Each structure stands twice: as structure tokens, then as C-alpha cells.
Amino acid sequence: MAKDFIGYQALADSALRGVVREALRRIEKQGLVGAHHFRITFKTGFPGVEIPDFLREQYPEEMMIILQHQFWGLKVKDNHFEVTLSFKKVPATLSIPFAALTQFADPGVAFGLQFREVDEDGELKPLSTPAPTPLPQPVKHEQPAAPPAESSEEKPPAAPGEVVSLDAFRKK
């Protein structure tokens, strides 16, 4: 495979982080509407992540937050966002760079993104976890064919997956 001098993976990852930024900006302006709510997972040790020490101790690697019913002070900047959440009835303000995100989901509309890790220089790291296994393909169940309208000439039934002409079902 030829070397990618343009860096398409990094461009795509940056664009997808932009989707999260724009979604948060809309929520910053209008609030959550309908079934929308966000599950945001991020690396707690990433440079620029500002969370209280008790949260960093509890979540030394990665943490998921949910923006749904009780969050305040959402401020979205170009490179990070800030939000205040309640942890055991204690409010805490978190500042999270978009580069620290590992996952974003809006379960209310079945939307989700998974990000590659970014190093301190903004470069994509190789995947440290195995790629997600593909979802199983749905099993196709054959529907019994409707009996054809009576005709003077009988044709053998079509084999599964065979294209059938509609002329066989038309009355003449």
C-alpha cells in the first residue's frame, strides 16, 4: 500500500469531531429537544482535560458522561467544551478537549461515533484496541410465494433468488 501523505484518516477523524462540536453548539443555544441526549466518552489523562481529582481517581483511564436531564453551563469552544454536572449531588465543572473524545453517541436517534486516539501533537495514534467486529448480517427469511392466478399453462415454481417475470401472474 502506498504511503498516505495527505493523511485522510486524520482528516476524517477531525471532521467527525467537528460533528460533535456542532451538535454541542446547537444544544448550547437551544437545549436538548425530543429524545436527544448525549453519551460522551473521553480519556481522563489526556492533556487539557480538567476534571476534579476525585473523578480522576475514580476514572484514571476513561470516563463517560451523559448530557440529558441535569447539566448546566455548557460552553462550546473551537478545541474543547465545558459543562457542569452533578456527582453525588456535588456540582463539578469539566473541561474536555475534543481531541480527548473516544466515543460519542445520541441513543435517542441511534447515532454514534467512535474516534481514534490522538497524541499530544494532534496526530492519530495507531488503534490500541482491536477494530470492532462487524455486526451480524440479518438473516433473510424466504416468504412463501403467493399462489399464481389460474392460467391455462402451468410453470414450475421459481428457485430461490431467481428473477420471476410478473407476466406469469397476469390474467390474459
| Entry pTM | 0.66
Domains of the chain: 8-114 (2.30.30.220)
Name the nearest CA neighbour of 59 among 7, 94, 24.
94
Please report, as a single letter, which amino acid is at residue 125. Answer: K
How far, in Å, are 38, 128, 134 from residue 131 at the CA level? Answer: 23, 9, 9
How far, in Å, are 29, 30, 160 from residue 56 at the CA level? Answer: 29, 31, 58
Q: Return per-residue pLDDT of the chain as tens, 172 residues.
A: 788 888 888 888 889 999 999 999 999 898 888 888 899 999 999 999 999 999 999 998 999 998 888 888 999 999 999 999 988 888 999 999 999 999 999 888 888 889 877 655 555 554 444 444 444 444 444 444 444 455 455 555 555 555 555 565 666 6
At 153 the pLDDT is 53
Assigned C-alpha cell, 38:
448525549
| Cβ pair 116, 13 in contact under 8 A | yes
